[in-house]
Structure 1
Amino acid sequence: MTQDPTQPGDALEVLLGTPGHRESLRHLAELPAREGQRAPWPAWAAPELVAGYRSRGVSEPWVHQVEAAEHVHAGRHTALATGTGSGKSLAAWLPALSAILAGTERGGSVARMRRRPTVLYLSPTKALAADQLSALHELLGAGGLRSDIRAATCDGDTAPEERDWVRAHADVVLTNPDFLHFSLLPGHERWDRMLRGLRYIVIDECHAYRGVLGAHVALVLRRLLRVARHLGAAPVVIAASATTGEPAATLARLIAVPVGDVAAVTRDTAPQGRRRIALWEPAPLEGVADPGALEDLRHDGADDPWATLTGVPDDLPRRSATTESAELLTDLVAAGRRTLAFVRSRVGVETVAALTAESLRERGAQVPTAPGLAGVPGVTGAVAAYRGGYLPEERRALERGLRRGDLLGLATTNALELGVDVSGLDAVLISGWPGTRVSFWQQAGRAGRAGADGVAVLIASANPLDTYLVHHPEAILEEAVEATTFDPTNTYVLGPHLCAAAAEVPLTEADLPLFDLPDTTLLEALTARGLLRRRPAGWFWNHARPERPSRLTSLRGSTNAGVQIVEGETGTVLGTVDGGRADAVVHPGAVYVHQGATFVVDQLDEHAALVHRDAVEHRTMATVDHHASLLGVTHRAQWGPVTWATGPVEVTSQVTGFDVRRPPSMEILGSHPLEMPVRTLPTRGVWWSAPEDVLREETGLAPGDLPGALHAAEHAAIGVLPLLATCDRWDIGGLSTALHPDTGMPTVIVHDGYPGGAGFAERGFDAAARWIEATFGAIASCRCAHGCPRCVYSPKCGNGNSPLDKAGALAVLRFLREVTPP
């Protein structure tokens, strides 16, 4: 679909042409266009593949593609970290498919066929694997190779008969780490043919594997390499990533090899059109209720019942990022500009799409119906939503519609951040900071792909970090992207994988370095718990146990089983919630929102929450009592009277009641007590403490003012830490107290939200000075009088965001800045 020539020729002009929008633009940066640099095809590349690429318009590859492909062909583990749309796939497929063709002899013996080279491709999402398979089939078809190389996806959705075919015949298997963990590795005997011939492992979008997920995936990959080596294979690993910090070190840590064994290719030589980055602060509310405010403050990525702020204070001056995104998307679609709007939550995605469609109807905009999308529910025009939870065929139809230009506007979660090939977009809207610079540049890179110009707009949400960033653009534009943080030595993560590995091939002391084990202590502990059995040949899984070892853990960061949300009358499963959060979000009396319908929870146990449908007007929010015990100090720093430390922390929490609130003001209508179980989280934290008399003297705060000041500083610090660590505010937690029993002083603690920790607290300790400076800047940049969601209010505070003292927090943080060494 082409642009309307009567409209302004530039997406940014469209946005700034609306009255009042120019005041929302806080900063505009221009990244100049760049010409591409090509290189000859490698001499070893299969001629049929080269012909296939040429027929698809690739006359010669880019220099970085050839550089990476040469490393891979030479047998080196390779990390390729270049920008969105730079053609990273070619660097992997060229050597991998050439190896399959070189190792194929038609009419050969069965033994030779068992040694035929195979390739395993791993994707963080099913959508990306499906997209890669489609592109791979097109390439093979163009080169006349569809009968020579057999490629197929295999995941949890694959039918049993299709899996049998893949195991028996596929040369290239596209899957995900979850399938490896739960199916392929536990049944590796049935995958003997593929694993014996495994020549290459392609890890796509490897920057997505951070925190606890990254630790799990690292251990799955180590188990995969261990089984492959046991069967005589020595696969080369290729990791494709967005531009990220320390790519070689990340891959080395994922697969447990010395960093010197990994070749890194980071210079992007693909062409790039002019790209402009706009930092945008939503317009003032002007006293009008904001229809997107509630969704904007909802728990990122969740469809949970209610995880919003406790209220919108009177001095909140600006509209929500959700509503602003919908208005900007409306402007762009009405002007014929193809736009992708990234939204943090599934509910937010639906809200942006619905508000945009409604606004277009109200304006009478002549937006054509998207052809080929009649079968997708809710898609009646050229605007749609895209998120997890849709049927696979619906997602594929939406992806095709976006590629063809049938869809002018698509609101999406970060599902379309990861590699799905979408080019020719005029603009990208990013509703709220996506968590890391890696993700920001990955999303922004969707604008102006294939060498065209594009505009990316970051719309600040109600978050201290967003406030800081739109007023400090250098923190985005002049800082290097983050290195991926994960810790595979976390015993809460490592223990279950050792059990799974022992079931695959018995563990021996020779395996200790592969799993970063200094000695056999953890294996002996697992044996004492009855999970493993020690024999002269090594450690074996205890097959007398009823569970499968792969079911001891989930790769997605929780050791708690998911709780299903079930409609009592019909037995319909509406969704699931992590067991560790169930007490707070689906307790008896909680309101659960699903596809716009409201349900009330009647009963909760460890497996399910029973609900009934009820069109209630109110919402609920749990009250949670938190405590944290400091169990030791791993590292300590003394800055004058202030002590910084990091170490193991035990966090206990208990839901003690819930408030009933009326949206949109979220005023409290009533409170109800609850007696939910006490939950314990052993994790790691970072904290600072200072003597009370020093703190009061230096800040001028009265004793009664300290709790509110520390509480507000804690909230802002949690909101800002993602600037320094590859985490999201929902990956971490915290608490503050004017007298902590373990320090005997006022103390602020920030801790990882996962058992055993995820590495985020340690990153905060290492960057403490920058962290404090950025936290102070986030609060000082906010123009509210007494505190709001953009500075010191938290969307997950279990104490009702009370007490909070914005001025006191600034005084405390100013003092910390003064004692911080340069």
Structure 2
Amino acid sequence: MTGSPFLHSGDATAPTYGRELLDRLLAGTPTGESPLTHVAEIPARPAHHSDWPQWAHEEVVRAFRTQGVERPWHHQASAADIAAGGENVVVSTGTASGKSIAYQLPVLSALADDPQATALYLSPTKALGADQLRAVTELTSDIDALSSVCACAYDGDTSTEIRQWTRRHSRWIFTNPDMLHLSLLPAHARWARLWRRLRYVVVDECHSYRGVFGSHVALILRRLRRVARRYGADPVFVLASATTAEPGAAASRLIGAPCREVTEDGSPHGPRTVAMWEPPLLRELTGEHGAPVRRAAGTEAARLLADLVVEGARTLAFVRSRHGAELTAMGARRLLAEAAPDLVDRVAAYRAGYLAEDRRDLEAALSDGRLLGVASTNALELGVDIAGLDAVIVAGFPGTVASFRQQGGRAGRRGQGSLVVLVARDDPLDTYLVHHPEALLDRPVEATVTDPNNPYVLGPQLLCAASELPLSDAEVEEFGALDVLTALAEQGLIRRRPHGWFVTPGTQPHGDVEIRGGIGHQVSIVEGDTGRMLGTVDAARAPATVHPGAVHLHQGETFVVDELYLEDGIALVHAEDPEWSTSAREITDICCVSVDEHREFGPVTVASVGVEVTHRVVGYLRRLPSGEVLDQFPLDMPEHTLDTRAVMYTIDPDLLDLIGVTPDRVPGALHAAEHAAIGLLPLLATCDRGDIGGVSTDLHPDTGLPTVFVYDGQPGGAGFAERGYHRITKWLTATRDAVAACECAAGCPSCVYSPKCGNGNDPLDKAGAVAVLDAVLAAIGG
């Protein structure tokens, strides 16, 4: 149990409902297992209300009251006040805190006061946009002053007739960054009515715009601002975010303008019990090199879900993959068939890809109690109104603290006591978190990382901007883009003229920019028998993700890749449901091309560097859900070169001798430290382990020293390695603690093994990694 001072201790004499549920889960734990590592009792939080602002339109306030909102919570009124005063604002508060009122109030008041005013709403998913449009439509249906608002969706599913009607009549358009990039901005003259009187731009769930996708969106929003200025408008941006570190700074980077932040959450919630749950290492199964493996998080989640359903608790289990969600629901139903057959039909799986009607039916069934248990992907994480949940199981850390809080916040949405359980996967970050719960439950959480200056993102986006309106010299200077534009001019894509930069005739850049799909040309994933296109992957990642034999998941269906034709940009697959998953093995070389920042700490040097990384996929493993490795197959794939950014540190060999890491142990110690560091960087930057890579060597030719690199997996970088450089002490401290906390003897997937190591996780020296990390931290003052 926990003794950590940061955690709120509950009243032992009056256990909450969440604690009662946890005790029942523990009672059902197999004899000899002790999976519970920490418990936090988070007390109830009372509501903090404010009065309706004086500027708010009377009919809008009346509509809110009709829906049961007698007074706004403090954060809603504060953010709305800032926006109404003409300043950009981001409201960063917890799940179910009513952030939508923070933008609905100023937007609807402005639209009611000015019958010509317009607004734009942007969301990362169509489902969230549809939910918010439905809420606004219900709110405005009986308001005479808003009868001309005609709020409408404008996305890929909108018919041609509705698109034309929306362009002519709608005053509040609900869309996404993709449509803004591909339709509204390039055809801005056809949308002149929208741009001329644009008062507000709402950016919902803005914490989801991170990495390369976030960098694209940041530049799209800059393009939006310059087009609006062309028509005489200067809209106020209102952003809604989950709880993140430095939300104001992140929002300012995203929109390219100053942004105030509101972070004090005035909404109430009931008492919440948060449990950290680590499945045991299995004696009967081993992984690579005989390393122990843990019971799979999905398997454990299925048992917990079944136990909670038996207790009558409405429970949502978040699982990282669609296939995993289906397996978890099936596992829970199988257990219930033995223990409580009448409850089998009250458990279901939920994933993206369902029709909107099916999704709403399932949400309603979970809310009203017809369903007691649902296993879901993160499709239910964003902005879906499900109330009255008693428990949430998070099967595997979802990648960011913000996502964990978003998912856990689904529990107790009506103010009653609730339970949240994080079930650790076989992963270094999960291991760290279940033994250091302050990283989840205390501030700060990660900052959202974007890098709009990445030349691989900036160049194509500048071509789009110049095709919309010529770029002036002042704008080029503001973007810091002269070198990028000069390179584009040498390629014949843009031309400098006396009145600015103009794209050359025939250049149509918008369709070539994949804002979600990475950088470079795309490989289409096609079902060979039917010709159905399942999706795309950028060419750089294709050898590792859609190589022959790879298992590919698409909306709950499983496919196996037959052939990959990189030059033609196509991967052919067939439907199959194997019992294993696949993970590619890569070999990687790295060379430094620039040193942009560095700090010396005696025998240790830390640097932020530009690097050239050469990858080649050499094989893949087939692995059972238990973690057991079935077999390995060789592959002969072409090399791929990546120009990107990295954080590195070097260590003087004398220091390694001093700490007892002899020359024969150095490769394994650095290799293990590199793997663990890759696993822990997502703690500080909103990235996934798959977004970054690493290389370690006992003698690197560019440094002449033992060196560890961790690099961004996107051309030009994505900001993750830079974040690691600036937070290296906290990052490596967490890395060291995660490795030391794992109870395995010599290393396992929970600490230093990597699922994509091209060297087959050999050599690895767990004890050497702890010694190296201790020495590095001592040198840099950690």
- TM-score, scaled relative to structure 2: 0.92
2:53 pairs with 1:42 = yes
Q: Of 637, 646, 650, which residue of structure 2 is paired with 1:689?
A: 650
1:684–1:603: structure 2 CA closer, same or farther, 3 Å change rule? closer
Aligned partner of 2:278 in structure 1 is: 281
Aligned partner of 2:208 in structure 1 is: 208
1:678–1:455: structure 2 CA closer, same or farther, 3 Å change rule? same
Aligned partner of 2:615 in structure 1 is: 653
8 Å CA contact retained: 1:34, 1:273: yes
8 Å CA contact retained: 1:56, 1:142: no
Looking at structure 1, the residues matched to 670 and 170 of structure 2 have their Cα atoms a distance apart, in angstroms, of 59
- TM-score, scaled relative to structure 1: 0.88
Where do 1:311-710 residues align within 5 Å? Answer: 311=287, 314-316=290-292, 318-367=294-343, 381-512=345-476, 514-515=478-479, 517=480, 520-545=482-507, 548-556=508-516, 558-590=518-550, 592=552, 599-606=560-567, 607-612=569-574, 621-658=583-620, 666-667=628-629, 669=631, 671-674=633-636, 676-695=637-656, 697-710=657-670
Amino acid at match of 1:678: E
Looking at structure 1, the residues matched to 250 and 575 of structure 2 have their Cα atoms a distance apart, in angstroms, of 47
How much has 1:214 moved relative to structure 2? 1.7
Looking at structure 1, the residues matched to 144 and 248 of structure 2 have their Cα atoms a distance apart, in angstroms, of 35
Aligned partner of 1:299 in structure 2 is: none
Task: Give aligned-pair identity as a percent.
Answer: 52
Aligned partner of 1:308 in structure 2 is: none
Where do 1:269-308 residues align within 5 Å? Answer: 269-285=266-282, 287=284
Aligned partner of 2:117 in structure 1 is: 117
Looking at structure 2, the residues matched to 688 and 319 of structure 1 have their Cα atoms a distance apart, in angstroms, of 35
Unaligned runs of 5+ in 1: 1-6, 105-115, 290-310, 369-380
Aligned partner of 1:750 in structure 2 is: 710
Looking at structure 1, the residues matched to 387 and 264 of structure 2 have their Cα atoms a distance apart, in angstroms, of 21
Amino acid at match of 2:149: I
SS at match of 2:665: helix
Where do 1:658-807 residues align within 5 Å? Answer: 658=620, 666-667=628-629, 669=631, 671-674=633-636, 676-695=637-656, 697-807=657-767
8 Å CA contact retained: 1:557, 1:754: no
SS at match of 2:586: strand
Looking at structure 2, the residues matched to 504 and 480 of structure 1 have their Cα atoms a distance apart, in angstroms, of 40
2:113 pairs with 1:102 = yes
Looking at structure 2, the residues matched to 801 and 145 of structure 1 have their Cα atoms a distance apart, in angstroms, of 66
1:399–1:183: structure 2 CA closer, same or farther, 3 Å change rule? farther
1:410–1:667: structure 2 CA closer, same or farther, 3 Å change rule? closer
Looking at structure 1, the residues matched to 43 and 339 of structure 2 have their Cα atoms a distance apart, in angstroms, of 35
Looking at structure 2, the residues matched to 220 and 673 of structure 1 have their Cα atoms a distance apart, in angstroms, of 39
Looking at structure 1, the residues matched to 623 and 270 of structure 2 have their Cα atoms a distance apart, in angstroms, of 49
SS at match of 2:589: strand
Aligned partner of 1:188 in structure 2 is: 188
Aligned partner of 1:296 in structure 2 is: none
1:588–1:460: structure 2 CA closer, same or farther, 3 Å change rule? closer
Looking at structure 2, the residues matched to 276 and 328 of structure 1 have their Cα atoms a distance apart, in angstroms, of 15
Amino acid at match of 2:27: G
1:62–1:178: structure 2 CA closer, same or farther, 3 Å change rule? same
**What's the C-alpha RMSD, in Å, of the aligned pairs?**
2.5
SS at match of 1:287: strand
Aligned partner of 1:136 in structure 2 is: 136
1:138–1:618: structure 2 CA closer, same or farther, 3 Å change rule? closer
How much has 1:36 moved relative to structure 2? 1.0
Aligned partner of 1:376 in structure 2 is: none
Looking at structure 1, the residues matched to 580 and 47 of structure 2 have their Cα atoms a distance apart, in angstroms, of 56
- Cα deviation digits, residues 388-435 of structure 1 (max 9, x gap): 333444334333333444332222222322222222111111112222
Looking at structure 1, the residues matched to 623 and 391 of structure 2 have their Cα atoms a distance apart, in angstroms, of 38
8 Å CA contact retained: 1:563, 1:608: yes
SS at match of 1:704: coil
8 Å CA contact retained: 2:19, 2:273: no
SS at match of 1:34: coil
8 Å CA contact retained: 2:519, 2:538: no
Amino acid at match of 2:493: L
8 Å CA contact retained: 2:18, 2:273: no
SS at match of 2:292: coil
Q: Of 768, 774, 777, which residue of structure 2 is paired with 1:814?
A: 774
Amino acid at match of 2:679: G
8 Å CA contact retained: 2:396, 2:430: yes
How much has 1:124 moved relative to structure 2? 1.2
8 Å CA contact retained: 1:277, 1:457: yes
Amino acid at match of 1:87: G
Aligned partner of 1:371 in structure 2 is: none
8 Å CA contact retained: 1:51, 1:142: no
Amino acid at match of 1:458: L
SS at match of 1:755: coil
1:671–1:211: structure 2 CA closer, same or farther, 3 Å change rule? closer
Aligned partner of 1:168 in structure 2 is: 168
Aligned partner of 2:8 in structure 1 is: none
Looking at structure 2, the residues matched to 18 and 568 of structure 1 have their Cα atoms a distance apart, in angstroms, of 47
1:190–1:688: structure 2 CA closer, same or farther, 3 Å change rule? same
Looking at structure 1, the residues matched to 265 and 432 of structure 2 have their Cα atoms a distance apart, in angstroms, of 30
1:230–1:8: structure 2 CA closer, same or farther, 3 Å change rule? closer
8 Å CA contact retained: 1:386, 1:412: yes
Looking at structure 2, the residues matched to 206 and 722 of structure 1 have their Cα atoms a distance apart, in angstroms, of 18
8 Å CA contact retained: 2:549, 2:560: no
Looking at structure 2, the residues matched to 428 and 646 of structure 1 have their Cα atoms a distance apart, in angstroms, of 40
Question: Which deviates the most, 448-457 or 706-715?
Answer: 448-457
1:690–1:93: structure 2 CA closer, same or farther, 3 Å change rule? same
- Cα deviation digits, residues 752-801 of structure 1 (max 9, x gap): 11111111111111122222221111111111112111001112222222
- Cα deviation digits, residues 17-46 of structure 1 (max 9, x gap): 323498222111111112112222222222
Looking at structure 2, the residues matched to 231 and 154 of structure 1 have their Cα atoms a distance apart, in angstroms, of 21
8 Å CA contact retained: 1:659, 1:672: no
1:270–1:610: structure 2 CA closer, same or farther, 3 Å change rule? closer
1:48–1:244: structure 2 CA closer, same or farther, 3 Å change rule? same
- Cα deviation digits, residues 592-632 of structure 1 (max 9, x gap): 56656553513523421123467777765543221111111
Looking at structure 2, the residues matched to 42 and 535 of structure 1 have their Cα atoms a distance apart, in angstroms, of 50
Runs ≥4 residues deviating over 6 A: 614-619, 660-663
SS at match of 1:385: strand
How much has 1:12 moved relative to structure 2? 2.7
Amino acid at match of 2:409: G
How much has 1:193 moved relative to structure 2? 1.3
Looking at structure 1, the residues matched to 67 and 655 of structure 2 have their Cα atoms a distance apart, in angstroms, of 70
Aligned partner of 1:149 in structure 2 is: 149
8 Å CA contact retained: 1:72, 1:238: yes
Looking at structure 1, the residues matched to 127 and 574 of structure 2 have their Cα atoms a distance apart, in angstroms, of 33
1:658–1:148: structure 2 CA closer, same or farther, 3 Å change rule? closer
2:12 pairs with 1:12 = no
SS at match of 2:745: coil
Amino acid at match of 1:12: L
Looking at structure 2, the residues matched to 401 and 719 of structure 1 have their Cα atoms a distance apart, in angstroms, of 37
Aligned partner of 1:111 in structure 2 is: none
